[in-house]
């Protein structure tokens, strides 16, 4: 149960409604999910967060599906239930198939395993990996 009251459209102030309207227009949906209704308790955070998410998730050098999958990988690593549910839905809407989800989770699982092994043994970074901004020969994990 949320620690703040979820603010519905009907009770929202004009600035909050403007954000809700933009969320629905941008996503081509007719509803707003609970995350934004919680943030609406602090309008500056609602506005700033939505503007940031909209900018970051827009198509660019990476396509929207790849971005949604990256978002899901981070959310699974952090164990954020809400974010896992919403971004699994978001990635599917953007085209993620069951097979892609299976491979995504396999990568997330392995990365979490090897992250802890590398930390657990305190492995030193190879000199070959220390080349900022260059296309270092490499690929280890």
Is 96:69 a contact under the CB 8 Å cutoff?
Answer: yes
By CB under 8 A, residue 52 contacts a copy of itself: yes
Per the document, the length of the chain is: 141
By CB under 8 A, residue 38 contacts a copy of itself: yes
By CB under 8 A, residue 24 contacts a copy of itself: no
Which of 9, 17, 22, 89 touches a copy of itself (CB under 8 A)?
89
How many CB atoms are closer than 10 A to CB 17? 16
By beta-carbon proximity to a copy of itself, the closer residue of 18 and 110 is: 110
CB of residue 17 vs a copy of itself: minimum separation in angstroms?
17
By CB under 8 A, residue 17 contacts a copy of itself: no
By CB under 8 A, residue 104 contacts a copy of itself: yes
By beta-carbon proximity to a copy of itself, the closer residue of 18 and 118 is: 118
Q: In this structure, what token pair is assigned to residue 136?
A: 């270092």
By beta-carbon proximity to a copy of itself, the closer residue of 14 and 121 is: 121
Distance CA 118, CA 93 (A): 35
By CB under 8 A, residue 36 contacts a copy of itself: yes
CB of residue 111 vs a copy of itself: minimum separation in angstroms?
4
By CB under 8 A, residue 141 contacts a copy of itself: yes
Gap between the terminal Cα atoms of the chain: 40
For 18-76, give the DSSP string.
Answer: HHHHHHHHHHT-S---HHHHHHTTSHHHHHHHHHHHHHHHSSSSS-HHHHHHHHHHHHH
């Amino acid at each position: 149960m949320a620690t703040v009251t979820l603010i519905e459209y009907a009770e929202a102030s004009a600035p909050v409604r403007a954000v809700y309207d933009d969320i629905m227009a941008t996503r081509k949906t007719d509803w707003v999910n609970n995350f934004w209704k919680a943030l609406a308790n602090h309008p500056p955070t609602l506005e700033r967060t939505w503007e940031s998410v909209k900018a970051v998730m827009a198509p660019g050098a990476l396509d929207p599906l790849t971005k949604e999958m990256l978002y899901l990988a981070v959310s699974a690593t952090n164990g954020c239930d809400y974010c896992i549910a919403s971004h699994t839905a978001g990635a599917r809407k953007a085209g993620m198939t069951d097979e892609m989800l299976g491979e995504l989770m396999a990568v997330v699982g392995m990365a979490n395993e090897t992250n802890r092994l590398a930390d657990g043994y305190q492995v030193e970074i190879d000199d070959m990996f220390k080349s900022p901004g260059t296309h270092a020969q490499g690929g280890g994990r």
